[in-house]
Structure 1
Amino acid sequence: MISLVLMLAVVVIECVNGKPTKPPLPMKDDGCYLVESELEISSLEGEAIILSFPIFMRALEVRKIFPPTDQFFITKNNVTYDGEGRVQQHDKQLWLLPSQVSDSGEFVCTYRNENYCVTGNITLQVYGSSSVDMKKWSFPISATVGEELTFRCPSISDFNSTGRPIEWYKDSSPTSLQQGRGGSFRRDRGNLLLPAVRRAHAGVYTCQLRVLINNQLYKVSRAIVLSVNGLDPDITPTPTVPDPSVTSNPGLISSSTVHTPTTRPPVIVSPLNGTIFEGLHGSGLELFCRVLTECETADSTVVTWLVNGQSVESSHLDERALQGGRRVTRVSEGCHTELRLIVVTMTDEDVKTELKCVAKNQGGTQEVVTQLQLEDSTFTWLVVGIVAASCFLTVVSVFLYVLFKPKRKKKMDYFLARQNSTF
């Protein structure tokens, strides 16, 4: 009983201090606990790649597991790596110097000791630089006309820059975007700034930088697809004037009408508008935006998450959120395009944060607005407090009962002796 009360007291203390929860992990057939998959990584052949495992490391941190380097292994097809060669494991990262198309596949990270085993995975897709569709390995961003937008080169924090400026390119242009070009673009510490977004800014942006690893230079690039909503303020729709030579003859109208195929606009299946996602302080959240489209337009449909109207990279969640893992699956009604957003750690700063999922294709645009919220620990306090108090009272009652238990009188043992004067 006393140990139960102590365990409940620990639970109460963790709830009060806002420590992260420890949700149970599923177990594989080999006895290892399985952490959810990392976001898929895409890159170009010939570039440097550093694979890290933030979701996996967060799961170990929450469970107070800090694996030493010699017990942390990264494998592919059961092949392990050391600190030499083209593919090297350094601490809890895997370096590919440089990457090849054959590196595509699933990499597994494992921590194992005598009593515990945890495993996770990440999928890497390396494209041949000569025949790659930029949209396949890009980060989606959505903006509104007139909005001030800041581009950050995403997922480069693991690299040590050489100090050279990051070069930005748009679409397939071989010429980098210059500072103040036509007043549209600005530079700030490697970021690309758009003071006022216009329709012409939509497209694919590529950032490139040079990194120094083991005294050798490598190229690293990232792609961002920007979709723009709204009309430029100086553009007004021009009304269509019917041709008198056509409208004067009804028969001619019916015979010359051209039926152009229409694209069905995207429909966001989940989450629903107004959904509130709750999580405890210090815990993580995994969100999915699932969009229904025609299968023919699934690849061209842009799906993105916005945080308080900004891209994830430009918001306060930049260091604590991961966006990606786009997946298209065929269903009976068409195709589902799914984009994942992972908030690694919830903090007080996230209270009432607005999350917006935006889906756009040639048929139209749909937006769904949701909200982040920290779970109210009042109910947890109440339930745990009642249980702890009940157990405490039970222990006290048993103790008092044992202490003041009335003593029973000893019974006299009688036996009959033979009435005999001699022995």
Structure 2
Amino acid sequence: MQNHRFLGPGPQISFSGLQKLFGLFFFFCALSVNVSASTIQPETNKGSCQYLGKYFPKLKEEGEPVVLNSPFPKLHNRVFFSLHYNLSWHKNDSENIVPETGNSSRMWTKDDALWIVPTFLEDAGTYICTFRNESYCATMSVELKLFKKTEVSLQYISYRQTLISSGAGHLVCPEISYFIQDKNNMEIKWYKDSVLLDQSNKKFSILKGSIYCLINNVTLDNSGYYTCELPFVYEGVKYNITRHVKLQVIKKKEETMPVIIEPNKTVLTSLGSKLIIPCKAFFGLGSRSTMLLWWTANNTFVNNVYKEGRVKEGQHLEYSENNKSYIEVPLIFDSVEKKDLNTEFICTAKNGLGYQTLQARVKEESTFSWGVAMAPLSLILLVFVGIWIHRSWKQSPGKVCTTRKSKIIGQECQPSTPY
């Protein structure tokens, strides 16, 4: 059969020749993969591993199953590490590598984690985790401390959690994901100070299939030690996975809606003059970290409208009076211009509960003069006073009596018009 050829201006290559070249290429690729895989053995390059330090110590109770997580949680995802790696565990005082199966020993590795089921006091110590690939080797150590149940100190092995009073909250049963065998039918028992919390207690709600314990109304009395207990069965033997939680309840800080006390809605000034409009807000007894106070001009931040800085916010001042919190922020005009009269300035106060706004309008002060306005009124008043005096003087004559004794006797004095 005639071989098909690729025709072209250069040398002609047969199709069978290309098949041979591709075959050689795949052979060398497979050979290189086998060689690299053979180099990823835990027994090689023991002296060239880089020690990266200690991982967080594990404090557990004797007799319970323990899982030591890999101290390299993010190392596997780095690009410069290949997908082919080896992760091994061994105890510091032993060179024996922990096997990858749980059938023949109490210790085995699974998904890069070290399992010990159950634990004895002699299992306490330092465990070395070694990571290797074709070009890198690193080790980290994890210390395991075990306590007898009769000598266990809750202060050292408890997990700390915090809740805020005056509201609902929940506790979490920590580090039990490895031991959950049936999530739908999982039942965790919760204890407070060694007393079982059952469903009849309206204060606590324990949901089936959940790792949470809901506290309906958190109060300061709920502080203390809690214990969650999860059953775990291995090779027909039932174990209890217990975790202790130390709950600290923090009193919720009281907050009130902010109230803006200043500025006035209308501010009178004259063009070209310097002006300061204070904005003062009352925030009650709330936390200062949640208080905000600022100015806007036409619904935009002041520094965005007046980029040249002619109008700007002053320094924020926070202070307390009679245990009540206030914030004051002035709006400063270097010189008032006519366009400021048509600008809407708004001061806004905000905290965790809400906010309040107050608008301030700048208006030009009127040049009205009382002296000029009173001049015509004074003239009119003088005219009326003169007329009144004249009429009063004309209608008020004196009394003149004759000196004759003959005319006075038995007669009244008659009015006489003065000269």
Is the TM value for this pair above 0.5? no
More RCO (CA 8 Å, sep 6+): 1
With the shorter chain as reference, the TM-score category is 0.3 to 0.5
TM-score, normalised relative to structure 1: 0.44
